[in-house]
Amino acid sequence: MTPDLRTERKQKKPFGSLQQEAQLNIVRTGNLLTDSFERLLKPHGITGTQYNVLRILRGAEPEGLCRNEVRERLLSRMPDATRLLDRMEEAGLVTRSREGDDRRMVTTRITEKGRTLVDGLDDVVEEEHLRRLGHLSEKQTRKLIKLLTLVRSSA
């Protein structure tokens, strides 16, 4: 069994509060899951954020989305979505085009290369989810989702 956070971090003093211990557990767990996911994606030449963009754009096919819509749907805060999309366009994963009367409106769409990449990762990503969370029962998983949603609602 995995030791508690205090033991894992070799911390001698108790946490300042139960809430502090809970928050630090969330942060530590999030970092472990993120690091593992990034290692999974690295051989495919993309980051977790780029994968998230590809999933978002795949879901928005064929219309695509403007930069701000992509940024708002990202799981993690991305202040410079333009540069992220620039890199993804250079890699051939997305295309951007100005459409309509408003020349400021740039629509981003997933390319065939991007679609092939993200489609090819579906099974690998699902295996990773099962590896990290599959030991929880369905009831535990639903409770975890409910609790995390409750925490986010106060943020």
Q: Render pLDDT for 94-125 as a digit per residue (tens, 0 to 9).
A: 999 987 776 678 899 999 999 999 999 999 99
pLDDT, tens digit (0-9, with 9 covering 90-100), for 30-84 = 999 999 999 999 999 999 999 999 999 999 999 999 999 999 999 988 888 889 9
With beta carbons less than 8 A apart as the criterion, state whether 75 and 82 touch: no
- Domain ranges within the chain, ordered by starting residue: 16-153
What is the dotted CATH code of the domain comprising 16-153?
1.10.10.10
The CB-based long-range contact list for 41-46 (8 Å cut-off, 24+ gap) reads 41/121, 44/117, 44/121, 45/91, 46/93, 46/117
Write down the residue that tokens 């999030």 correspond to.
30
